Structure 1
Amino acid sequence: MNQKKKKKSSDKSGKKSAKKKKITGKISKKLSNKKKITDKINIKLTKQEKLTGKINKKPDKKEKASLGRRDILKGLATIPVFGPFLYAFLKKKLSDDFKKKEILAELGISKKAPAVLPKTVLKKPRHLIRLGIIGFGGRGEALVHAAGFAHPDWIERKKKQAKDNKLNKGLETFLTQEDLNVVLTGVCDVFDVRAERGLAASKNDIRPGGDSGLLKGARRYIHYQDLIQSNDVDAVIIATPDHWHTQITIDAVNAGKHVYCEKCMTRTIDETFKITEAVKNSGKVFQLGHQGRQQDSYIKAKQIVEKNILGKITLVETTTNRNSPNGAWVYEIHDEGGPETIDWEQFQGAAPSKAPFSLERFFRWRCWFDYGTGLSGDLLSHEYDAVNQILELGIPKSVVASGGIYFFQDGRDVPDVFQAVYEYPDRDLTLIYSATLANGRNRGKIFMGHDASMEVGSSLTVTADLESTRYKEKIMNNIINTSLPLFTYQPGLKGIDTVTSATERYFATRGLMYTLKGGRRVNTTHLHIKEWLDCIRNGGQTSCNIDRGFEEAITCHMATISYLEGRKVEWDS
């Protein structure tokens, strides 16, 4: 029995060995055939060289590369198992590379990444500018961060976040932003706690270009009039509720101060004419707080439109979607807020309706038209300014707006759902805005042309239209696939940064937080303030000057009037 088993085992082993030799022989034969094919190719090439008199002349690099790829593909196809897969992969890659070149050539655009700026650009300017901040609430504190000053507890919080999560780059971005060579010399806020925070930030030397230990700190001013009359202040940042923007700006430029004012520029149409006249007559540098103007994807979008890549644009759709208490302006009420710490009379100022002291109205002022401009001035303003930057639309001929208070039944009088349809008959174009504060679905800014559509946010995507006239031939030849983007543009960040709140996520997707400049991640508000300071020092116009502010304010107020009065509103300039 054992001998029979051994014999059977020996037979099986012999068969396996013979089979293995046959397979090896086949592979050797195929490799030998491949060598013969290669020899034939070489012989043919030698004959061709003799015929053309180019025996001693080397083929150029392009010919070598082309021939090499063909030989590799042919050779790979003869190798068992892996050959066909690798052959198909390389063939597809070559086809895709060809299509990309064809598309880029058609569009006339470059796929190059932004160049890294030389370090000399980051040297701080020589001329020191002394800043005053009027309104040190949430947005005011963010603007002071962008100028280079942060409260010590913000620094500690960001240190902890960076330690807990290496992807959190908030502190790194702040400390590596450019030193703008400014000092904060004046702080004014009607809430004592916020004013004290501003003073603490002005003295904190953990900042861009810091560690000198030489910060004297700011002085607190109880009333803004005292701050703008101070000889220790050259320029002011205004981050008050909207109903104060006009009067403070007019008083500031008349006192010889340059102004950075938060959006919406004004609360009413009448105020818009007054502020524009005052700023123009003053000769002072004015910047409206639409920091999206510094977003790299918006700049690229403008170039794409100028190159007519989308064809004739007839419809633009832009949106706001938020779904959090902060996103609906239901901010926390500070424990120390009260009649003893808040100057209520100064806060109300020129508000059309006087109300008794109210913590809700003070901390959540955006919920009332007495102090703010609702969805139109607060969020539509950002969307409109981005579209105006890209298309240079100006003021629309007409608008129809609608909406209501459908979710937040908390005593507010501004809508939480809002739509506005703007008509530009001279441009054959309609701009649609829609918003809800009770749903967080992300919807981008979409520019719809006859040949392609473009979606813009912190990144950019262009997709060809199936019925395009310009791209018809390339679509038919399968060079352009309309189910895929024609191309995308993403300011090239190597890492992913965490976003720590729903509100931050919203602003990040809208391109209102960070961009890439010179290979570095930069706060767009920092760049917007820097542009303002550069114009103060060197002359020139800011990107969101008083003319752009006039267009923004009028466009937003037209929609508010339409909503409140339930009618179509026309611009008769």
Structure 2
Amino acid sequence: MASVPVLGAMAYGVYKKKQIENKNRNASEIFRFKSDVAPYASIPSDAPVIKIGIVGFGIRGAQLMQALGFATPGYVEDLIKQAKADSDNTRYRDFMEQEDLRVEITAVCDIFDVYGNDAIKAGANIHREGVNGKHGPEPKRYLNYKELLSAPDVDAVVIASPDHWHGTMAMDAIMAGKHVYLEKPMTWTVPETYKLRSIVKSNPQLVFQLGHQNRQIEAYERARQIIEKGLLGKVSLIETGTNRNDPNGAWVYPIHEQATSKNIDWKQFEGDTGRIKEYMDYMTSAGLLKYVGPEPREKFSLERFFRWRCWWDYSTGLSGDLLTHEYDAMNQILNLGIPSSASSSGGVYFFKDGRTVPDVLQTVFEYKDRDLTMLYSATLANQFNRSRKIMGHDATMEVGNTLTVTVDPRSEQYSDKIDKGIIKPGEPFYSYIPGQSVDAVSTATEKYFAERGLLFSFISGKRYNTTFLHLKEWLDCIRNGKQPSCGIDQGFEEAITAHMGTRAYLEGRTMYWNKEKEEITRG
């Protein structure tokens, strides 16, 4: 008798699987696809080694190095402990089985000494060992990123600095002759968006990749084909958003216990006098000076250093940090481009901690030439799951770590199949489940990324870290002289779209995109 609940659950699981299989069998005559993504191509053993410099070893910088195959011995040790404690936790095995990308970390730069030293340890851990393992030669640590860019033994750089340094560092790297992988968002201000695009396009021999790892998600390619085939009918509304509900998800990151004004280069974090003036001039011209926080450039602050995303002085807010994930996913699937207008509202409604960026944001993007609206809705104080929805006249597609298509009761395209009982409107007609199960999701931040398929993707049934795949694509393009999936054109669309949403929020008015002049105008 004790086994009945277990057997019942198993039977229900088999029943649900059969339901999906039957529905997909009925849908097969409609939903026929090419292979989802290109077969996974291993790197040849004789491929040239690419020498990489890492700029920024905070939260995302460490994740990017892990995706390249490098981690601190302490991190590896922690993965080993997790695997021993939970046999279903496969992170250690996944990391050890991750393909060698044939790269060498020759240089690292972080303005916090503890992070800088950790980056050295990670770069030297060429065998992915724990604390008692054998490590390789240490990369050189630079105290200033410009010195790293001048190093002759650096072919390419991975930039994971705070938002207010993204565009500047990327421009300096391209001008120094380095290939660039830049963490999103692409830029902090509108003017540098144009400058970076110009510099990248003037150096076509260098490969620029923006860090939107959703470009590697298998389900998104399937979604793109569904749109391409017109299977949803005329799409008129997209709904997407962000729901997170813990301090970490709201950027209230822990302050490192060893951090002091003596081991952090605060002046370099803030920026030199010329760059500060450029920022202040931009804020003044845009009428946004009131949004600059109190004494942002003069007073050392551990809170601002570790939680910089909470202030416009360094951050791009929800628009640049999380909306860009949602926008780039939809741009990948629907080829949206830059919207014709953007309107935003929201505010600091929950985290009354002195931040200036909102924790609740609603942004509406209009695409007048396509008779289409995209709605982005976000809260950092509620974790209720809301899927991305692409709504067509004939069907609605929900996109995340799985894919579901539900036919509309009023569909004209499928009316005959509805009448014959082949399709039951209001119920999922087609489901695509690539088989992922994400282990050890422990925070609202990870839950958000897992639900959106941003942690893992599947190729031919095998699970891969999406950041690993995105970096591998960049490295493949460097070796083969090709352009990546999220290059400067896609980055420009992302940046301008996000800036329109931000400006609309800050100015309290609709922002418009003049396509002919390529400029943002006020309503």
For the aligned pair, the TM-score class normalised by the smaller chain equals 0.7 to 0.9
- Decide whether aligned partners of structure 1 residues 424 and 115 sit closer, same or farther in structure 2, where only a CA change above 3 A counts: closer
Structure 1 residue identity aligned to 2:301? S
Structure 1 residue matching 2:29: 3-state secondary structure: helix
The answer to whether the Cα contact below 8 Å between 1:205 and 1:212 also exists between their aligned partners in 2 is no
Residue 443, structure 1, aligned to residue 386, structure 2: yes
Q: Is 1:185 equivalent to 2:106 in the alignment?
A: yes
Give the corresponding residue for 2:478. Answer: 536
Question: What residue in structure 2 maps to residue 104 of structure 1?
Answer: 28
Deviations 1:339-360 (A, max 9, x none): 1010000000135451300001
Residue equivalent to 2:12: none
Q: What's the CA shift for 1:101?
A: 4.0
Farther-moved stretch of structure 1 (281-290 vs 100-109): 100-109
In the alignment, the residues of structure 1 paired with residue 21 and residue 448 of structure 2 have an alpha-carbon distance, to the nearest angstrom, of: 35
Higher-Rg member (1/2): 1
Which structure has more RCO (C-alpha within 8 Å, separation ≥ 6)? 2
d(CA) in 2 for partners of 1:344, 1:415: 25
1:206-228 Cα offsets, whole Å, 9 max, x none, are: 339xx996731210000001100
**Structure 2 counterpart of 1:179, which letter?**
D
Q: Given the alignment of the two structures, is residue 126 of structure 1 paired with residue 47 of structure 2, yes or no?
A: yes
1: CA distance, partners of 2:391 / 2:218: 20
- Work out the CA distance in 2 between the residues paired with 1:96 and 1:538: 41
CA contact (8 A) 2:170 2:182 kept: yes
**Normalised by the size of structure 2, how large is the TM-score?**
0.87
Aligned partner of 1:394: which letter? G
What is the aligned partner in structure 2 of residue 164 from structure 1?
A: 85
Paired residue secondary structure (1:282): coil
Asked if structure 2 preserves the Cα contact closer than 8 Å seen for 1:252 and 1:258, the reply is yes
Q: C-alpha offsets along residues 460-500 of structure 1, whole Å, 9 cap, x if unaligned?
A: 1111001000111111111111232111111134x663323
| Residues 517-558 of structure 1: per-residue CA shift (max 9 Å, x gap) | 232211000000000000000011110000000000000000
Q: Aligned match of 1:152 in 52, 73, 96? A: 73
Per-residue displacement from partner, 1:384-440 (whole Å, max 9, x unpaired)? 000000000100000110100000000100000000001001111000000000000
Any idea what SS the aligned residue of 2:28 has? helix
Q: For residue 251 of structure 1, what is the aligned residue in structure 2? A: 172
Secondary structure of residue in 1 paired with 2:475:
helix
Taking a change above 3 Å as real, the CA distance of residues 387 and 97 of structure 1, as seen in their structure-2 partners, is: closer
Residue 232 of structure 1 aligns with which residue? 153
Deviation per residue, 1:166-224 (Å, 9 max, x gap)? 1111111111111100010101000000000000001113339xx99673121000000
SS of the counterpart of 1:320?
Answer: strand
Task: Name the one with the larger helix percent.
Answer: 1
In the alignment, the residues of structure 2 paired with residue 251 and residue 451 of structure 1 have an alpha-carbon distance, to the nearest angstrom, of: 49
Q: CA deviation at 1:299?
A: 1.0
1:425 maps to which of 337, 347, 368: 368
The one-letter code matched in structure 1 to 2:183 is: E
> TM-score, normalised on structure 1?
0.80
Percent of aligned pairs sharing the same letter: 53
Task: Report whether the alignment pairs 1:366 with 2:287.
Answer: no
2:451 to 509, 518, 540: 509
Measure the CA separation in 1 of the matches of 2:474 and 2:448: 25
Which amino acid in the other structure matches residue 396 of structure 2?
S
Whole-angstrom distance in 1 between the partners of 2:173 and 2:182: 11
1:114/1:564 CA distance change after superposition, 3 Å: closer
CA–CA separation in structure 1 for the residues paired with 2:38 and 2:390: 28
- Whether the 8 Å CA contact 1:123–1:179 is kept in 2: the answer is no
The equivalent of 2:246 in structure 1 is: 324
- Count of matched residue positions in the alignment of Structure 1 and Structure 2: 475
Q: Quick one: structure 1 residues 354 and 542, their matched pair in 2 at CA, closer, same or farther if it must change by over 3 Å?
A: same
CA contact (8 A) 1:124 1:180 kept: no
Q: Are the equivalent residues in 1 in contact too, given 2:73–2:128 (CA < 8 A)?
A: no
Match of 1:290 in 2: 212
**C-alpha separation in 2, matches of 1:439 and 1:125:** 50
In structure 2, C-alpha distance between the alignment counterparts of 1:340 and 1:490, rounded to whole Å:
51
For residue 520 of structure 1, the aligned residue among 462, 466, 489 is 462
**CA shift at 1:444, angstroms?**
1.4
**Alpha carbon RMSD of aligned pairs, Å?**
2.2
The equivalent residue for 2:139 is 218
Which amino acid is 2:93 matched to? E
1:462 corresponds in structure 2 to: 405
Counterpart of 2:503 (choices 561, 564, 569) is: 561
Instruction: Please say if residues 167 and 496 of structure 1, whose CA atoms lie closer than 8 Å, have aligned partners that are also in contact.
Output: no
Structure 2: any 5+ residue segments left out of the alignment? 1-16, 280-295, 516-523
Q: In the alignment, residue 346 of structure 2 is paired with which amino acid?
A: G
Query: Which letter does structure 2 place at the counterpart of 1:296?
Result: E
**Do the aligned residues in 2 keep the contact of 1:115 with 1:518 (CA within 8 Å)?**
no
Structure 1 gap ranges (5+): 1-92
Which amino acid is the alignment partner of residue 482 of structure 1?
P
Per-residue Cα deviation, 1:220-245 (whole angstroms, up to 9, x for no partner): 00000110000110000010011111
Residue type matched to 1:227 in 2?
L
